[in-house]
Amino acid sequence: MGQARETIDLMTEAMVSKDLERLAGVYAPDAVVTTPDEGEIKGREDIVEYLRKFIVAIPDFTWEAMAQYECGDTAVDEGWVVGTNTGPVPTPGGGTLPATGRAVRVRSVDIATVRDGQIVRHNFYFDQLDLLSQLGLAPE
């Protein structure tokens, strides 16, 4: 197992255990994340804040891995985000919606590039419409 695989595994463990300090440590200070809902997020602090909102919205979050890959400085995880929405749901405009109490199971792919033991680029891929539909928040 290489450094990229080890680092993305640490990121996943920090998310599941809700350890924001450890989560911050896996991202480089100038890391860049791209998400389907917020677009590009730059800098460790803003990335951790984005992920913190996710943890608050789905505090029992778990990750069910389907496949894991590593090629050089890049690791890829494919799997399912699973949990129950019992916290406020962040909106792209900075607001929140009340918790729905609904269970979610959303397919996701993460691609992380690692340098010197920290993630410098991380792309999150998930179907926003599927997530919103499972939460009962998608437009009819």
Q: Percent of the chain scored above 70 by pLDDT?
A: 100
pLDDT surpassing 90 at residue 66: yes
Q: For residues 104 and 4, what is the distance between their CA atoms, to the nearest angstrom? A: 28
- The H-or-E segment that residue 66 falls in is strand 62-71
The domain spans of the chain are 3-135
Q: What pLDDT is attached to residue 91?
A: 81
Specify the CATH number for 3-135; select among 2.120.10.30, 3.90.1640.10, 3.10.450.50, 3.40.50.2000: 3.10.450.50
pLDDT at residue 115, rounded to an integer: 98
| The pLDDT of residue 86 | 97
- On the CB side of 14, CA atoms within 13 Å amount to 18
pLDDT > 90 in the chain, percent: 88
